[in-house]
Amino acid sequence: MTAYGSLVWVGQALGPLTEAITDDLIRVTEQMIPVTDVAFDLAEMRAASIAENVAVVQYVLANNIDPSTVSPPAGAAAYIQRLARRGVPLTVLLRAYGLGQYRLLDAAIGLILAVPGPDQPARIAELLEFAGRYLDRLNSSMGRIYEAERDRWLSSRHAARQQWIARLLDNDDVDLRAAEAALNYRLDRRHRAAELWTPPTTTGADAARALEQARQLLSAAMGADGAELVSATGARDMRIWFPAEGDRRALDVLTERIEASQLPVRVALGPAGDGLRGFQRCARGAARVKALVMSAGQDAPAVVDFDAVAPFALLADEPDELAAVVQRVLGPLAANSAKAQLLRHTLDTFLAEDGSYSRTARVLQVHRNTVQYRIQQITGRYGITVDSDSFDVRFALGVCRWYRNVLTPAA
């Protein structure tokens, strides 16, 4: 135990002064930290907390109690828990404690100086040591109480948000006003949903940081201005709803920003939808696109929009039928090999360019003769016709791109 017995008389002398010190602290604290900063209904709790803290310091000093063993007063602990639930920064409370320490020290040093003697400097130094130890103990204890309550409150709030979101997704008979109030998100408008996730190799703080940076990029690109609804669906996953303005340029901006950022994040966008049904529809669409991207593997783009892949995303529940279509239309060209993939990509580009060898060569950045040679292989070796209706072929090529499981083992 650290002895501060020579300061007992200072603590005893502070006794009659505590009421005036408390009143002064309450007045000055309200000037420095207005009631509006911590909500009006907390003013009474704050005053009680200040009174308790002043009384405890005086009691500890007057009874020669080791300051490192003192616990925060119950009222002060309740007050900081309330601040944590209100989202008030811990710095607000620590600032008030610093102010309280200054006022008490000022009064105590005044008492020491009022008693002349050669030991005044030693008594003041001892008082400063006591104050430092006490404030360190108090700040550490209150910081732990604040963080524990903040974590508990955030966890409870997150659970409540998740419950509301689950109700909105699974039930059409929901109190929309109550949901909007709980989620701070309007439902009577047009929505777009996005699924964000990181690869398994990105974990912990790196995943959380990458997802948050990607969320900010999405919010800016979609013009949400912070009005989005965010739902963490896992340690490496996030779902977001945005107010949809219908500007297709936003998708191009988003793609450019995500690719330029080089974040280890994939983005799947759902279709736009209105009201509660649209809220549900765009979330289902985003989930289907995410499943599609994960099926495609590393070759999938960083950002994929539902409208661009809808025919394939909607068929995710029909794996056997998709495989049968691919085998019927492409046959051996559906092999899981680098050569077959190269030929499929060439054929897909060739058909997209209306059978133009020169335009296909420009897109693929190869010589025109290379394109001709590859098409000859496709038509000759694999027996695929490219001069008739190409819908079946293009559909089968798209299935191969997005559903790797339909590919057959290379011979």
User: What is the structure's pLDDT at 136?
Assistant: 87
Show contacts of 106-109: CB within 8 Å, 24+ apart: 107/14, 107/17, 107/21, 108/10, 108/14, 108/61
DSSP label at 404? Answer: G
DSSP label at 305? Answer: E
User: What is the structure's pLDDT at 36?
Assistant: 55
The burial class, CB within 10 Å (0-12 / 13-18 / 19+), for 220 is: middle
User: Of 314, 317, 366, 311, which is closest to residue 343 (Cα–Cα)?
Assistant: 366
- Cα dihedral across residues 326, 327, 329, 335: positive or negative: positive
User: What is the structure's pLDDT at 2?
Assistant: 58
pLDDT, tens only, 103-143:
888 888 988 998 888 888 888 998 889 888 888 888 888 88
DSSP per-residue codes, 233-253: EETTEEEEEEE----THHHHH
Low-confidence ranges of the chain (pLDDT < 50): 1
At 99, list the tokens: 């102010």
User: What is the structure's pLDDT at 289?
Assistant: 93
User: What is the structure's pLDDT at 277?
Assistant: 93
User: What is the structure's pLDDT at 49?
Assistant: 85
Q: How many residues does the chain have?
A: 411
Report strand pairing: 335-336 vs 408-409.
parallel
pTM value surpassing 0.75? no
User: What is the structure's pLDDT at 366?
Assistant: 93
Q: Is 374 helix (H, G, I), strand (E, B) or coil?
A: helix
The burial class, CB within 10 Å (0-12 / 13-18 / 19+), for 234 is: exposed
- ∠ CA 404-302-251, nearest 5°, is 125
